[in-house]
Amino acid sequence: MSEHSSNNAQKDEVKNDFIRNIIRDDVNAQRYQQIVTRFPPEPNGYLHLGHVKSICLNFGVAKEFGGVCNLRFDDTNPTAEKQDYIDNIENDVKWLGFEWAGEAYHASSYFDQLHAWAIQLIEQGDAYVDLQTPEQIRDNRGSFNEAGTPSPQRDASVEENLALFNDMKDGKYAEGKAVLRAKIDMASPNMNLRDPVIYRVMHQSHHQTGDKWCIYPMYDFAHPLSDALEGITHSLCTLEFEDHRPFYDWVIAKIGFDVPPHQYEFSRLNVDHTLTSKRKLKQLVDEGIVSGWDDPRMPTVAGMRRRGYTPEGLRDFCERVGVTKADSVVDFRLLEFSVRQSLETTTGRGMAVLKPLKVTITNFSDAVSSWETQKADSVNARFDDATQTLWLTQPNHPNVDMGEREIPFTETLYIDQGDYEIEPPAGYKRLSPEKPEIRLRNTYVLAVTEHITDENGNVVELKATIDPATLGNNPEGRKVKGVIHWVSASQGVPATVRMYEQLFSAEDPSGVADVHQALNPDSLTELYAVVEPSLAHADAGTRFQFEREGYFITDSEDHSTDKPVFNQIVSLRDSYKPA
């Protein structure tokens, strides 16, 4: 059973998870010249949040212990694999902030060596060609309570096996007609040791080796040997491979290596309301449920990058989750927390009105004609007569130096519909007929004089005045509570803003048989917003804090200055606190 884990971070301290403790012991005992780990994705999809955990662990420990980490494509199954996946995986690992040692490796570049080792096993009497059908092989494996039945080929001579294996390689068998099996123990309580298949026939071109091979090694055979070839010291994988470790060790022992690699297993990352299975994520892409692997709602690295999540936020999240052997489900709000934290001091501020309500300032020309005499010394501004615009210079961040921008203030503005209520709920701190005054961020104090409603009683426009003496100054003789954001109607730029919720309303979408039933119908809402010009002018992929609204990024695909498009990264705050 899974439970919500406490996610206790040991940040900036020596990390004491069981993997690092093992490696620390090995380093102290000088068991290896250098620590070598690897991240071994199969290029059959895009990387997801689960892979991020494995990347942070493998690359992280290598760095911490002065070692190296390889990137190795475990490309032993050509049917599902593509070059496009390889390119994107490399890009994602780099974006996360990690560097692999040398070139990226491919299990397929070891095919000659793996084939030679398969022949070695046959010669040692440790492998045989089985001509049973796949069904017979399955049925004869036995069950948990029952030993398997040996294949009729199990005791064939070395010569006969060598000849049959050569025939397999030469394409004399159709798929499913012959396999090479390790000869171990058909009665083993561990099913993985009941003569596992190590080579199979596949009449398939391979993205790296072309048509050279029509037999391909199985993952469980290729993996330990690829590790050994690369001098991997600690082969870190997820818990489902624990039962495969005896076979891993068997292969390593039978081929024989001076410095054998060791496999260690840790628990998978599971996050609530999230899917971490390439196969299921591919279904969402293939069925057009999302716009692609990089849809900002996807838990893929590509999706999270487009959403505006930061590498720092993702790495911090993995640190907080930690590494254990206990299965757990992490609260998705921890991820949002880490991302939000990484944005606080790294994003410029800006004003965007997501649900615009028009405000006409009826004394604009009077008030603005006196702006220069009434303003505080701290205010830097200029008035453009031609467009009747007061340009206010403001820093992009209140306490981090990120430069300045000019914000246009004009006769007609937009404020957010939520900032004016005819009948405000108790405790409401913004504008209402009873509380007509408020500070407009970066500029004057505004007083609403009239609201105009449509036939349904909805407020469609406000008339208001500004107090000319309040540009950078507090009003005389009264306190004005509250500050709201605003955007000039004439100088602001209409923008599409995409608001996101979790893609899945189901807490455990992998537990829902039909993935469609797990979806959240409100995962994407598009708003027609208005943003200040500096936001519209930003390059694609620029992150901002929209004052009072949250963190947003200009979309990497669809954004342009003429038609700005922003993705919501994360809300400004949340009641959630990590343990």
Gap between the Cα atoms of 510 and 281, Å rounded: 11
x/- mask, Mg ion, residues 33-62, rule CB under 5 A, reads ---------x--------------------
CB of 50 to Mg ion, least distance (A): 11
Known binder of ligand: residue 44? yes
* DSSP bridge pairs for 361: 464
CB nearer ligand ATP, residue 461 or residue 508: 508
Known binder of ligand: residue 219? yes
Known catalytic residue at 430:
no
* Pairing of the two strands 493-500 and 445-453: unpaired
Known binder of ligand: residue 224? no
CB nearer Mg ion, residue 42 or residue 64: 42
| Strand extents, DSSP E, 82-126 | 105-106
Known binder of ligand: residue 43? yes
CB of 74 to Mg ion, least distance (A): 7
> Do the Cβ atoms of 235 and 227 come closer than 8 Å?
yes
CB nearer ligand ATP, residue 42 or residue 404: 42
The pair of three-digit structure tokens given for residue 444, joined into one six-digit string: 């004057």
CB of 154 to ligand ATP, least distance (A): 31
Rounded to whole angstroms, what are the CA distances from 428 to 140, 405, 420, 573? Answer: 73, 31, 10, 19
Known binder of ligand: residue 443? no
x/- mask, ligand ATP, residues 4-43, rule CB under 6 A, reads ------------------------------------xxx-
Residue 257 DSSP symbol: -
Rounded to whole angstroms, what are the CA distances from 199 to 118, 173, 380? Answer: 8, 13, 74
CB nearer ligand ATP, residue 238 or residue 505: 238
Which residue in the list 42, 312, 461, 501 is annotated as catalytic?
42
Residue 472's closest CA among 396, 372, 549, 543?
Answer: 372
Known catalytic residue at 455:
no
x/- mask, ligand ATP, residues 269-288, rule CB under 6 A, reads x------xxxx---------
CB of 315 to ligand ATP, least distance (A): 14
CB nearer ligand ATP, residue 232 or residue 471: 232
Residue 54's closest CA among 67, 41, 72, 68?
Answer: 41
Q: Binds 408, which of ligand ATP, Mg ion, none (CB < 5 to 8 A, cut-off by type)?
A: none
Known binder of ligand: residue 74? yes
* DSSP bridge pairs for 86: none
The pair of three-digit structure tokens given for residue 331, joined into one six-digit string: 């609260």
Q: Select the residue interacting with ligand ATP from 222, 237, 413, 445 (CB under 6 A).
A: 237
Q: Which residue in the shown chain puts its C-beta closest to ligand ATP?
A: 50
Which residue in the list 169, 183, 278, 320 is annotated as catalytic?
278
* CB-based burial label for 302 (10 Å; 0-12, 13-18, 19+): buried
CB of 12 to ligand ATP, least distance (A): 23
Known catalytic residue at 280:
no
Residue 449's closest CA among 362, 366, 365?
Answer: 362
* DSSP bridge pairs for 493: 531
> Do the Cβ atoms of 249 and 221 come closer than 8 Å?
no
CB of 51 to ligand ATP, least distance (A): 5
Which residue in the list 63, 141, 268, 548 is annotated as catalytic?
268
Angle between helices 245-255 and 111-123 (to 10 degrees): 80
CB nearer ligand ATP, residue 54 or residue 568: 54
Burial string for 412-424 (b: 16+ CB within 10 Å, else e) reads: ebbbbeebbbeee
- The H-or-E segment that residue 358 falls in is strand 356-361
CB nearer Mg ion, residue 220 or residue 411: 220
- The H-or-E segment that residue 372 falls in is helix 371-374
H helix and E strand count, the chain: 16, 26
Q: Binds 554, which of ligand ATP, Mg ion, none (CB < 5 to 8 A, cut-off by type)?
A: none
268 binds ligand ATP (CB under 6 A): yes
Q: Name the site residues for ligand ATP (rule: CB under 6 A).
A: 40-42, 50-51, 53-54, 237-238, 268-269, 276-279
Annotated binding residues: 42-44, 74, 219, 238, 268-269
Catalytic residue numbers read 42, 268, 278
Annotated binding residues for L-glutamine: 74, 219
Q: Name the site residues for Mg ion (rule: CB under 5 A).
A: 42
